[in-house]
Structure 1
Amino acid sequence: MTTTIRIGIIGAGMAGQAHAFGYRNASMARDLGDIDVQLHTIADPNLELAQSVAHRYGFANAVADIEAFLANPEIDAVSVALPNHLHAEVLPKVIASGKHLFAEKPIGRTREEAGRLADLAEACTAVTGVGFSFRRLPGLAALAQAVQNGAVGKVHTVRAWYNADYAVDPSGALSWRYSQEQSGGGALLDIGAHAIDAAQFVVGPVSRVLNSTLRTVITERPKPAAGAIGHGGATTEERGPVTNDDVALLTVEFDGGAVGQITLSRIASGVPNSLGVEAFGSNGHAVFDSISAGEFHLFESGVASAAFNGPRRIFTGPEHPYFNDVAAMPGAGVGTGYAEAFVAEIQEFLRCVRDGSPMDTNFKTAVSMMSVVGAALEAAESNTPVDVDSRQHA
């Protein structure tokens, strides 16, 4: 029997377009052959943008009225990809509509805001998931499996990072991303959400933020012109202050006793987009860097003679998670990248909608990440360690 799922997306910016790409290609997975994915509507207050995205990605309709969109009974499942400060307003309305919901991270600007949304999601019967897309990269998913299966022994030291250069130009527009009130955090949350989640995905929950240093390097920027979109949007002559961090350095402790460093920068000149995790254990180490997404490295002590033993460079292939469902030619070494991660997360969302099962990246996952962000903000302000455990529920 075929299950028809009619898709709508709220938000036609970069993240919304990535979701649209995921839905357009979701049927690549053989086990989703019984799902008829119908690309129904793109909703965005900027109607011209919504129409452009709908045309490019094959959606039948574009609207500017989000209230009318949510009232449309023809839409079964909704992706929400809006600026952070709009999630607290829009997500409760989607949940109340009874439609299945896939939200871009973060679901709130604070732990408390995220917790309230998680409570609403838990009380509804629809599927509610959150897009921690890097988890769906075959290399990172395979590395997490290896670590969790004991390939490197007991983990004692962790290093995670997210370096990007989208904010390196001081003439870039002062968008909502540079406002602490609107965003909830600079590099710490905008890209740190992914690095913190990736570290917890591989090693387990962070229990304590031992130290947190936040720095704003570019302290003011030109205000955006009306209707400006994205990092390269048009600007005006008027300038305003940047009120959140360009760089964040965290020292953390994990539930299992490991210690780690999480480094985040949105002004990393020459590094366009690199998320990585490195875990050292009693029997080896493992490394993944998204800039080389089609591979990961693993060292297991004692698997060969000392003269020839060392880290192995492993190319992702059909034996690794998600690979067969997203690779255009599913053979080892052909490589996958960040685009395929969006396909894989949408595929998982659609499976859960079809089966009526919860997503592994749900609103509780988002609260866990936001709890670390909240502890890091408090530790930076107080210059003292802050426990994360007590922050798991609003």
Structure 2
Amino acid sequence: MKKKLNIALMGSGFMGKAHSYAWTLVNKFFDVDYEPVLKVNFGTDEELTREFAEKWGWEEISTNWEEVINRDDIDIVDIVTPTYIHKDMAVAAAKAGKHIFCEKPCAVTYDQTREMAEAADKAGVVNYLNHNYRRVPAVAFAKQMIEEGKLGTIYHWRGVYLQDWVMDPNFPLTWHFKKDLAGGGPLFDLSSHAIDLARYLIGEVKAVTAVNKTFIEERPLPGQRAATFSAGGEVNSEKGKVEVEDASFMIAEFENGALGSFESSRFAAGRKNYNTFEVYGSKGALTFNFERMNELQYLNLDDPADEQGYKTILVTNMTHPYAGAWWAAGHVIGYENTFVHAMADFLKAVEKNETIEPNFHDGEKIIRTLEAAALSSEEKRRVEVSEIK
């Protein structure tokens, strides 16, 4: 019989759905020794929290997160709250001896990420930062191909992450537009994913040159229950200042000599979740588009000149990373499955008391790079990541 581990989900909403789904399915598709129990869901709105818990199968609810984290019967704290509360919850969970599964971005400042990492290290708890795109089978297979030398020497990277959900000037001033609550706009929200993928596939970023831009500088104050992607509530005639960027473009220099570019925007009309990357090397190239997440485009320069071109690899074979746990070859999977992959890897790390990546130390490096980009845009100069102390 598998040992049961009690989960406390801190938050709900969009990410709460994805996490609840994954905790429910992980044991059904992956061979892990632990059985997650959906024990308690924390939320600030008791009515909404109760509705969410009943729908997704959480046994209890609470409106007191400190009390939840310090309960003796909680084994894992899963943080899906807005970014500004990540640090407080993660540090408290580490001090309480709980393993931590945390949504990205890690925190709103580099200093906060260091505090999180130090607390987790001191407590000896497994900590995971959920940049789930690493666990798309096609992305994990791209990593495998790069490590096998299929691309040769890597010359450059291009990462693009575009959305359009705040283009309406009447979209309210939710927490996403406040620097002390979000850290940044798409620079933190979207480029944090792209930086994580670049570190995973290419290596560490050495220096950046960035330009950030805010297109709409004031927005209506939010109504009750305003949330990500759908504001909700009544339109407020009073306005407040937008404190983060709406778009961020940056050039990056990697420590291994490669060059890179990163584009992130919430003002890309028609783009809902356009997350793509391109990797170019001396022997070939790879491109990926999350909107076609089961496919990887590969160019092999060893092919005869008159046969060269990008070919599509359908990454659904039983031999591909993660894919073998699901369906027969050729049967595609979706966004939600990446969370199941993350939960499976996390539970295996807990079982063996091993480090899992990305973790809070990776979060440190990501946020440090993003702060370097913010400084570059502000001071209009090239910034070494090491300048961020």
User: How far does the alpha carbon of each residue in 1:101-137 deviate from its partner, in whole angstroms, 9 at most, with x for none?
Assistant: 1111122211122112111111112211111111011
Instruction: Indicate the SS of the match to 2:141.
Output: helix
What residue is the counterpart of 1:224 in the other structure?
222
How far off is 1:260 after superposition?
1.0
User: Which SS does the other structure have where 1:204 is aligned?
Assistant: coil
Q: Hey, what does 1:89 align to over in structure 2? A: 88
CA drift of 1:308 comes to 1.8
Any residues of structure 2 matched to 1:157-172 within 5 Å, and which? Answer: 157-172=156-171
CA distance in structure 1 between the partners assigned to 2:220 and 2:138 by the alignment:
39
For residues 336-373 of structure 1, what are the alpha-carbon distances to aligned partners after superposition, in whole Å with 9 as ceiling and x for unaligned?
22111111111111111122111121111111111110
The yes-or-no answer on 1:380 pairing with 2:377 is yes
Name the residue aligned to 1:55: 54
Query: Alignment partner of 1:307: what SS?
Result: helix
Aligned mate of 2:352, from 352, 355, 358: 355
- Residue 252 of structure 1 and its aligned partner are, at CA, apart by 0.3
Per-residue CA distance 1:191-247 (angstroms, 9 max, x = gap):
1110111111111111111x1000001222111113333331223221111111110
Confirm or deny that 1:370 pairs with 2:384: no
- Write the mapping of 1:226-375 to structure 2, written as runs, cut at 5 A: 226-233=224-231, 234=233, 235-303=235-303, 305-317=304-316, 318-325=318-325, 327=326, 330-375=327-372
Q: CA RMSD in A?
A: 1.5
Contact kept? 1:173, 1:231, Cα under 8 Å: no
Cα separation, 2, equivalents of 1:30 and 1:322: 9
Q: How far off is 1:9 after superposition?
A: 0.4
- Structure 2 contact 102–129 (Cα < 8 Å) conserved: yes
2:270 partner amino acid: G
CA contact (8 A) 1:172 1:231 kept: no
Q: Is the 8 A contact 2:30 2:344 kept in 1?
A: no
What is the DSSP-based 3-state SS (H/G/I as helix, E as strand, rest coil) of the residue aligned with 1:237? coil
Distance 1:2 1:337 in 2: 28
Cα pair 1:10 1:78 within 8 Å, conserved? yes
SS at match of 2:36: strand
Larger mean CA deviation between 171-180 and 49-58 belongs to 49-58
Q: Compute the displacement of 1:262 (Å).
A: 0.3
1:255-296, Cα deviation, whole Å (9 max, x unpaired) = 110111100011211010011110111111000110110101
Shift in Å, 1:17: 2.2
Identity within the alignment, %: 28
Paired with 2:79 and 2:140, the residues of 1 have a C-alpha distance of: 24
**Which residue is 2:132 aligned to?**
133
Question: What residue in structure 2 maps to residue 199 of structure 1?
Answer: 198
CA contact (8 A) 1:173 1:232 kept: no
How far, CA to CA, are the matches of 2:319 and 2:229 in structure 1? 37
Q: In the alignment, residue 225 of structure 2 is paired with which amino acid?
A: G
Alignment deviations for residues 150-201 of structure 1 (CA, whole Å, 9 cap, x no partner): 1111011110011111212221121110111211110100111101111111
Are the counterparts in 1 of residues 99 and 126 from structure 2 also a CA contact under 8 Å?
yes
Question: Residue 236 of structure 1 aligns to a residue in which SS?
Answer: coil
TM norm structure 2: 0.96
Per-residue CA deviation, residues 60-89 of structure 1 (Å, 9 max, x unaligned), is 111112122122211111101111111222
> Which amino acid in structure 2 is aligned with residue 262 of structure 1?
F
Structure 1 segment 59-78 matched on structure 2, within 5 A: 59-78=58-77
Letter in structure 1 aligned against 2:195: I
Q: Which amino acid aligns with 1:216?
A: T
- Structure 2 CA distance for aligned equivalents of residues 120 and 390 of structure 1: 24
* Separation in 2, partners of 1:390, 1:321: 37
Following the alignment from structure 2 to structure 1, what is the Cα–Cα distance between the partners of residues 76 and 367? 25
**Which has the larger displacement, 245-254 or 158-167?**
158-167
Moved more, 79-88 or 130-139: 79-88
Could you say what secondary structure the match of 2:285 adopts?
Answer: strand
2:67 partner amino acid: A
SS of match in other structure, 2:221:
strand
Tell me, yes or no, if the aligned pair for 2:70 and 2:93 is still in contact at 8 Å: no
Q: Which moved more, 1:316-325 or 1:262-271?
A: 316-325
Give the C-alpha shift of residue 390 in structure 1.
5.3
Secondary structure of 2:128 counterpart: strand
Partner of 1:188: 187
**Preserved CA contact (<8 Å) 1:148 1:203:** no
> Partner of 1:178 in structure 2?
177
Q: Which runs of 5 or more structure 2 residues have no equivalent in the other structure?
A: none
Counterparts of 2:321 and 2:28, CA distance in 1: 15
CA contact (8 A) 1:163 1:274 kept: yes
The amino acid of 1:240's aligned partner reads G
Q: Which ranges of structure 1 fall in alignment gaps of 5 or more residues? A: none
How far apart, CA to CA, are the structure 1 residues paired with 2:334 and 2:217? Answer: 33
Runs of 4+ in 1 over 3 A off after TM superposition: none
User: Which residue identity is paired with 1:20?
Assistant: S
Name the TM-score, length of structure 1 as normaliser: 0.94
CA contact 1:223–1:239 (8 Å) conserved in 2: yes
Matching residue of 1:152:
151
Say whether residues 1:79 and 2:54 are aligned partners. Answer: no
